[in-house]
Structure 1
């Protein structure tokens, strides 16, 4: 099929009258000019439709199961078996476009728990129909998509959230309060690492063709991605390692592990920053590298001085700071972050929990600051989003925050595509790499004909 590459200008253009998402056999045309979310009282139950209901999607359906689950959509009936069984009265679909068109008036909110490459098309269509949305992390596969979803959510007035559950925890809030109270002085460096990938990467060629399982609609699974033959090892989980479908290790975990860094260091206030690949091993045109180290440099933000942020994956780790005994665990071990300040060292876990000064002796007489950040009841992101949908409040990790976080994370992948030795200067407001024009192509991607949802 013909692919249509979307320019940054086209991708960010506002759609004012209608959106058309074309399928192979028919077009789904939606008038979105005056669609607004349905008003609900706190005592009403939301009518929720879920897109992608196997694996993590099954957990997201469970998280919302106190509401009315009215529709379930998945391209793989086998993966969806548990959710289908638990909600026998929900209408079942393979194509989310058909579900949203047919059940438009019956749906208040939508969860999106598909592979990364489907997040933006599904969430964009749902929001244009006036549906509240909760989208799994990373919010999107590209920088342009993240910017678009944040813009669309704001314009449509829908409640929105990304599924990085740690952002709703008490731990990340305690960490921010420690940093902001000056527990380690000015933070000059941070180091974040993960044991991902725990799936194959560093693969040079597409997988050998194999019969498509009877339960799977492979063409719908591909969605906006370029056509390729089915192979054992893409769906349902290992897609994360492939450029066409996922975002690699950084896409899987940065919206969790870099979230404490992003929030505590107020990286969202930076008007620009640089990103470069320090090292990588095994990257190909098909898949992400087996391991990498990525370096970001952020200028001063308010009363915070300039800071250098490092990302490590594939088992690579930062150097243990001087003065920290070997028997003291850093973060959670395989995943976590270090903050290096002018007056000490702080470490935190995958989701911002168990934050502590290093060496451990420094915690003996340390008193954590009084809380200044609102706590999420029960640390439950699902209920917080559901209540926000009913009350018209802002949900935890809404797109105005999650969009920029996803952009910072995925700029690491842009740097990988630009190549080792290319230090990219990114201007946030213009969404442009200012020192390497060719690298701007990696801020967006081509869309398969029939899925080029911003063309219209």
Structure 2
């Protein structure tokens, strides 16, 4: 029989400390995992799982749903029954609906709703969900019209709901580096920004709307797809993807990618609302956005920050190449880019804020980077989920993304009004173009009978 080992006083103290830490750690864990009721109406225990519904399950809806897979995906909704069968297989407990209104009425266990439908239905679905007390995540662009963006932000605030727009670049590491470098004065005072994208990658321009009237697939509810938009015949050139190029359903290249590209200077420079906006473009018509456009915004001084001119380019247009950029080096990346012009240099990055660098590269190598001060994000969807559980705000909640969306959509109004040969003057309080009243009806659209935002 093995002899009993003697324990020294020092060893006894070490064992006692380990035992104490283990016991107190277990006690702390017991108090960390609390029933959600103890967190109050606007907070939940981190151990609770949210019941999430996803409306629009193709494309970004698929990735948004899968990003929320750590919670309970309890309902899927899509006007097209054939959309994304694999998602339904992977989450067999989620109930499928065609009509979001039926889903909200029948399924009372939903805590939060993810919306990844065509642009023209974002607002009506988000509003219905918020009126039902649900937290909402809406894919970019937040809305189809400026008025819708304003109303969603107001109602989200009134109801104290956690909201988020799905512009994933805002959650990225390099977006935070950009903010920190600019705040550090890496290139001095910034008074000019150029932003460009490779979009559109769908049909736009002076095209004729499809005239054929093929049968609506039996699996598609075309009336629900149209929602508040004018009643028009079904055509596969519209659903499931090319709707982006139509005024009735999409927001064009600017609405699609401005939420990623304009977001970076909007955040880093605290731009807010512009004073003026003007645009030029290739030809377009009452159905389709132009193939290419250029939009110029003038933003006022903000505190000690100087006024900023921001120029947007799409459809293959790009800004002049900066002289500091090394020969052969690509501007931005294949998707587009952003150039910041400062009093002491320039910063360039690609899509979603990636590849952020001072230029030329020699200046980047000389730069002593500041400490990281902005909280890092677990991802655009997970950040929203975390905020719901903590009862806090997410970084692109509607108070932020609503203003960003208004700025983007002002550019589309300027495109429509370019033949007036007038620089549009914007009053954000009145939500009006003050010097061209005929532009103001485009702040919103006339909904089809039977559809209402409120």
TM-score by length of 2: 0.88
Could you say which residue in structure 1 is the equivalent of 2:432?
432
CA deviations over 1:31-73 (Å, ceiling 9, x no partner):
xxxxx97753221110111110112111111111111111110
Distance, in Å, in 1 between the alignment partners of 2:42 and 2:360 is 53
CA deviations over 1:125-167 (Å, ceiling 9, x no partner):
0001110000000000111100110111000111100000111
> Which is greater in Rg?
2
Distance, in Å, in 1 between the alignment partners of 2:105 and 2:335 is 44
Deviation at 1:88, TM superposition (A): 1.5
Could you say which residue in structure 2 is the equivalent of 1:135?
138
Deviation at 1:287, TM superposition (A): 0.6
Q: CA RMSD in A?
A: 1.5
Distance, in Å, in 2 between the alignment partners of 1:190 and 1:242 is 28
Evaluate the alpha carbon distance shift between residue 348 and residue 450 of structure 1 in structure 2; reply closer, same or farther with a 3 A threshold.
Answer: same
Evaluate the alpha carbon distance shift between residue 57 and residue 441 of structure 1 in structure 2; reply closer, same or farther with a 3 A threshold.
Answer: same
Could you say which residue in structure 2 is the equivalent of 1:169?
172
Structure with more helix by fraction: 2
Distance, in Å, in 1 between the alignment partners of 2:182 and 2:295 is 23
Residue 313 (structure 2) pairs with residue 309 (structure 1): no
Residue 86 (structure 2) pairs with residue 85 (structure 1): no
Secondary structure in 2 aligned to 1:447?
coil
Could you say which residue in structure 2 is the equivalent of 1:23?
none
1:58 to 58, 62, 68: 62
CA deviations over 1:214-259 (Å, ceiling 9, x no partner):
2211111000000000112101111000000000001110000111
Distance, in Å, in 1 between the alignment partners of 2:340 and 2:363 is 15
Deviation at 1:451, TM superposition (A): 0.8
Could you say which residue in structure 2 is the equivalent of 1:26?
none
Could you say which residue in structure 1 is the equivalent of 2:276?
274
Distance, in Å, in 1 between the alignment partners of 2:42 and 2:111 is 7
Secondary structure in 2 aligned to 1:308?
strand
Distance, in Å, in 1 between the alignment partners of 2:359 and 2:329 is 8
Distance, in Å, in 1 between the alignment partners of 2:41 and 2:233 is 40
1:99 to 82, 94, 103: 103
Could you say which residue in structure 2 is the equivalent of 1:216?
220
Could you say which residue in structure 2 is the equivalent of 1:32?
none
The within-5 A match list for 1:337-356 is: 337-356=338-357
The answer for unaligned runs of 5 or more in structure 2 is 1-39
Secondary structure in 2 aligned to 1:134?
strand
CA deviations over 1:333-352 (Å, ceiling 9, x no partner):
44110011111111012111
Aligned partners of 1:184 and 1:344 also within 8 Å: yes
Evaluate the alpha carbon distance shift between residue 290 and residue 155 of structure 1 in structure 2; reply closer, same or farther with a 3 A threshold.
Answer: same
The within-5 A match list for 1:250-269 is: 250-268=254-272
Aligned partners of 1:54 and 1:83 also within 8 Å: no
Could you say which residue in structure 1 is the equivalent of 2:441?
441
2:237 to 230, 233, 239: 233
Aligned partners of 1:330 and 1:336 also within 8 Å: yes
Distance, in Å, in 2 between the alignment partners of 1:374 and 1:42 is 19
Distance, in Å, in 1 between the alignment partners of 2:325 and 2:170 is 28
Could you say which residue in structure 1 is the equivalent of 2:199?
196
Deviation at 1:306, TM superposition (A): 0.8
The within-5 A match list for 1:333-372 is: 333-372=334-373
Structure with more strand by fraction: 1
Distance, in Å, in 2 between the alignment partners of 1:229 and 1:338 is 43
Distance, in Å, in 1 between the alignment partners of 2:42 and 2:172 is 29
Count of aligned pairs between the two proteins: 413
Distance, in Å, in 2 between the alignment partners of 1:37 and 1:74 is 30
Aligned partners of 1:328 and 1:359 also within 8 Å: no
Aligned partners of 2:335 and 2:350 also within 8 Å: no
CA deviations over 1:182-222 (Å, ceiling 9, x no partner):
11111121000000000000144321222212221111100
Secondary structure in 2 aligned to 1:70?
strand
